[in-house]
Amino acid sequence: MKLLKLPVLCAVLLVFISDIKFSKCDDFPSLITQNASIAIIIDREYLDVQYEDVLKEIKVIIERVLREDLKNGGLVVFYYAWTKINLRKDFTAVFSITNCENTWEIYRDSRGENLLLMAITDPDCPRLPYDEGLMIPIMTPGEELPQLILDTKARHSFDWKSAVLLYDNTFDRDMISRCVIALSRNFPDDSNQVQPLSVSVYKIRETSLDWNRRKHIRNILTSLPSRFIGTNYMVLVTTELMQTIMEIARDLKMVNTFSQWFYVVSDTNYKSGNMSTVLSLLEEGNNIAFIYNYTSDNGECVSGIKCHSNEILRAFTLGLSQAIREELAVYGQISDEEWEIIRPSKVERRGSILNFILEHLRKTSSCSNCTMWKIETADIWGSRYQASTFTSQSVAEKKLQIDSNVDYALINAGMWRPFEGLLMNDVLFPHISHGFRKKVFHIITYHNPPWQYIKTNGTDIVSEAHGVVIDILNEISKKLNFTFVLHTTSTSTDLNTTDETTNLTMTKEIRLLTTDLPTEVASMLNENKILLAAVASTVNDRYKNFLNFSIPISIQPYSFIVAKPKELSRIYLFTAPYTHGTWLCLALMIVILPPILCLVNRISPYYEFHNQCTKKGLFKFSNCFWYIYGALLQQGGLYLPQADSGRLIIGTWWLIVIVLVTTYCGNLVAFLTFPRVDVQVKTVGELVRQSAMSWGMRSGTYFEDYIRDSNDIPKYETLYKGAKFHSDENPEIIDLVRQGKHVYIDWKSNLLYIMRREYLKTETCDFALSSDEFMEEQIAIILPYNSPYLELFNVELTRLHQMGLIQRWIKEYLPKKDRCSKQSNLIEVVNHVVTIDDMQGSFLVLLLGFMAGLLIFCTECTWRYYRKRREEKIIQPFVE
């Protein structure tokens, strides 16, 4: 029995510990069974001589609200004259009047118990988290700008690491210093993740003449080192000066898709506050926001600690009463056990009371209610192109209608009031946060594989679209938050382009429309009617005067195809390890060495000294020849020199034979394993030097223009003069290439398409690519001239390049690898088994040897027969 009690006790302890762990913040008495409590902290040191007066007033407020506004439950009030207190978990809320530092200390203490903190504090104090408490800084009317900037930063309205602060004489040095501190200070709450900014401050001097003022502003803006201090601008100026700065910044191209301009205008009020005068200064691609004074000057504005204390405590009491009433309504319908499960937690109760307080103050607050600032921002990205509509789906009749004067508008982004701080209806810079904000654009394209594969349903309506450019556009549209509708166009390239020096008219019908744009596409881009064209185009100087090219989406190298080199005959394979010169030298050695060996043996005194016979062996020339020849074939001889001089010659020849034989055997194995192919042109230099084949390319391409103007490069000059220009690749040209009579020059990707197509037709590999990629052509997406979104799209294209997506898409749309892919180079390297074709040279040598032997045998027989006949004719004398 005792053994059973121990596990039970451990289980009870575990349950108790887990209850302590998970009920730390929610183990509080219900408002139904126990009165709520509030700690009122009035810092005697902070209020100094006002302490007694404020304390007395607050007690009067508490008595009144408890009597008049608390209809349900009760409220226990604890007063403290200092801030270092122990906040019990059974507290419902804390009300404090102290400085900023102590307020945040109280917040950190109350946060662990999920208490509602309502604070009145110093100006220029960072706000408490908006969902955990209420803070009202007591400010002098007209000096709320630093607090406004601080609240804007705390709300993450702008995500800046640096800022350029421009201001005029409207604000004194102390006010600007407070604004700079508001931007650059650290926040007491680490969870807010608001980082301090590096601030560069520039003052705009006041001048009497408008021309001098404009010159001064222009000098300041042009001297800003934007590369180091950033392109985020906060401008504290008057309305008139704001318009001047906007105009000059626009002329200096300082307002773009990456810069952010935040204008703070203080010389307005609720009667004169209107930013519509700046609409004419807004342009596509701007990021501009305004916060301007909307304060009422009716003279009935009240403020101060007592006023705010009265409103906050009354709103809290009403909110508490409502919370108790709602809990009672639920409690009366369920059991006590169910109530303990579903009753609101401390965090939920704090949130509901705080929301009630804020809503009540918005409706009834009269303290500092005259002070208000409005926030408006420009939602203009894509407005010009969003207004575009196609009036007809017919390709022949399709026209893009657009108003030349687009009406831009400002949207109400929020407001600022002292008791609740910044209340945002939208983001401060909508395009920085949300790109084009789901606008729909009409974009024109046409069929041009592999860049654009376009399918229509018999009309101009696109039923299916894919390809490299379409995939890029889909990815960028997701990142920049816009959608698009594709429209096809005809591929006529009749276009009249004019610049200062030339008037070029081009009329071509080509299949690969990358060099010349269709008329309708170029016209719409030139008139700035579409955001961009979903087409891939060659970057060339012809269009740069009226179009913008993005960074290259692909680099297309030029190459050429020739007939696949034929494998050389292997009948003379046994001679391949050595060159003709080597074989000649070897033959000369066989011819020269025997006489030398024979001569050395004959004149050597060794044999005379030892009385040896000098008529046989290596003293005969024929024996020396066959010995040298046999040693070359690694065969031994019957005779060896006795003298050291002859032996030295033979030993040296043996060393040479070892080197010759081993080298020959090794190279012969390599030549047996790897077949040799016919020598063909590999580079442009070899192509222009040969005369057996002609060469050609498509006319009207960027490559044609390039080699025509490359007079300083001899090989390109010769290439252009000898080239045949074709309107397009056709079967006749390909047949000439297959026969080895012609060379075709084009993009390497186009040549791969041709080789793939011909392989599918014939199932044979008849072509080979050159090893020389001699010129690269940039392919890019085109936008209207001076498009404000060019750099924005370039950044996204760079991101796609770095991620490897564009290269992946290009590979997907290139021809798939087949049997010919590994054989596309000029030199074919294939391992194979040695066959009779490889050994036919050996049998040829054997045949020649037998024939030579037979010929000598016949010669010997003939000589013997001739000699015998001759001897028969001679009469020999008889001698006894």
Domain check: are 149 and 257 in the same one? Answer: yes
Question: Tokens 């007939």 map to which residue?
Answer: 563
Check whether residue 225 and residue 319 sit in a common domain. Answer: no
Any idea which of 41-45, 701-705, 840-844 has the lowest mean pLDDT? 840-844
Looking at residue 679, its pLDDT comes to 58
Per-residue pLDDT band at 516 (split at 50, 70, 90): confident
Per-residue model confidence (pLDDT) at position 491: 65
Q: What is the CATH number of the domain that holds 188?
A: 3.40.50.2300
Q: Are residues 259 and 223 in the same domain?
A: yes
Residue type, 494: D
CATH number for the domain spanning 315: value is 3.40.50
- Max CA distance (Å), the chain: 182
On the question of pLDDT at 781 being above 70, the answer is yes
Amino acid at 367: C
Mean pLDDT of 434-439: 93
* Residues paired with 378 in a beta bridge: 410
As a residue count, the chain comes to 880
Asked if 238 and 317 sit in the same domain, the reply is no
pLDDT tens, residue by residue, 403-432: 445 678 899 999 999 888 899 999 999 999
The whole domain housing 34 covers 28-138+301-369
Give the pair of three-digit tokens for residue 683.
């580079």
Exposed, middle or buried by CB within 10 Å (0-12, 13-18, 19+), for 217?
buried
**Percent of the chain topping pLDDT 90:** 38
Q: What are the b/e assignments for 691-721, b being 16+ CB within 10 Å?
A: eebebbbbebbbbbebbeeeeeeebbbbbbe
User: Tell me, what's the pLDDT at 543?
Assistant: 86
Average pLDDT of span 113-140? 91
Dist. CA 360–CA 354, nearest whole Å: 10
Q: How many helices (H) and strands (E) does the chain have?
A: 28, 29
In a domain, 484, yes or no: no
Q: What is the mean pLDDT of the chain?
A: 83
Is residue 624 scored above 90 in pLDDT? no
Please give the pLDDT value at position 877: 66
- Given 621, 638, 673, the domain boundary residue is 673
Q: Is residue 242 part of a domain?
A: yes
Checking if the pLDDT of 520 tops 80, the result is yes
Q: Is 39 helix (H, G, I), strand (E, B) or coil?
A: strand
pLDDT single digits (tens) 736-774: 999 889 999 998 888 888 888 888 888 888 888 888 888
**Before 450, cis peptide (omega within 30)?**
yes
What digits encode the pLDDT tens for the residues 785-816? Answer: 999 999 999 999 999 999 999 999 999 988 87
**Between residues 731 and 677, the one the model is more confident about:** 731
Let me know: does 659 contact 577? Beta carbons within 8 Å.
no
Are residues 98 and 64 part of one domain? Answer: yes
Confidence band, pLDDT 50/70/90 cuts, at residue 192: low
257 is in an annotated binding site: no
Higher pLDDT, 95 or 582: 95
**Tens of pLDDT along 257-280?**
999 999 999 888 877 777 888 888
The whole-number pLDDT of residue 542 equals 81
Identify the residue with better confidence: 614 or 324.
Answer: 324
The most confident of 401-415, 675-689, 712-726, by mean pLDDT: 712-726
Cα torsion at 444, 447, 453, 457 (round to 10°)? Answer: 80
The pLDDT assigned to 504 comes to 31
How large is the average pLDDT for residues 78-99? 90
Q: Which of 176-185, 290-299, 606-615, 655-664 has the lowest mean pLDDT?
A: 606-615
pLDDT of residue 11: 35
Name the domain boundary from 673, 701, 722.
673
Q: Looking at per-residue confidence, does 398 or 45 come out higher?
A: 45
Higher pLDDT, 449 or 102: 102
- pLDDT computed for residue 338 by the predictor: 84
CB within 8 A of 265, min separation 6: which ones? 237, 238, 239, 242, 290, 291, 292, 293
* Domain co-membership, 289 together with 212: yes
In a domain, 689, yes or no: no
Residue 400 is predicted with a pLDDT of: 45
Work out the percent of the chain whose per-residue pLDDT is above 70: 86
Q: Given pLDDT bands bounded at 50, 70 and 90, which one contains residue 564?
A: confident
Residue 711 binned pLDDT confidence (cut-offs 50, 70, 90): confident
* Same domain, yes or no: 91 and 196: no
Residues 161 and 282 in one domain: yes
Q: Rounded to whole angstroms, how far apart are CA atoms 70 and 327?
A: 15
Top pLDDT among 23 and 55 is at 55
Name the domain boundary from 641, 673, 705. Answer: 673
What's the pLDDT at 8?
A: 34
Assess whether pLDDT exceeds 90 at residue 376.
Answer: yes
250 lies in some domain: yes
The answer as to whether 18 is a domain residue is: no
pLDDT digit string, tens, across residues 456-511: 876 667 888 999 999 999 999 999 999 999 988 876 544 443 343 333 333 233 34
Number of compact structural domains in the chain: 4
Q: Are residues 43 and 79 in the same domain?
A: yes
Using the predicted structure, report yes or no on whether residue 697 has a pLDDT greater than 70: yes
Q: Give me the pLDDT at residue 643, please.
A: 78
Comparing 11 with 246, which gets the higher pLDDT? 246
The verdict on 276 and 421 lying in the same domain is yes
Do 120 and 232 lie in one domain? The reply is no
Structure tokens that stand for 840 in this block: 């036919």
Same domain, 276 and 363: no
What is the structure's pLDDT at 499?
40
Task: Say how far apart CA 566 and CA 260 lie, in whole Å.
Answer: 66
Position 534 confidence tier, pLDDT thresholds 50, 70, 90? very high
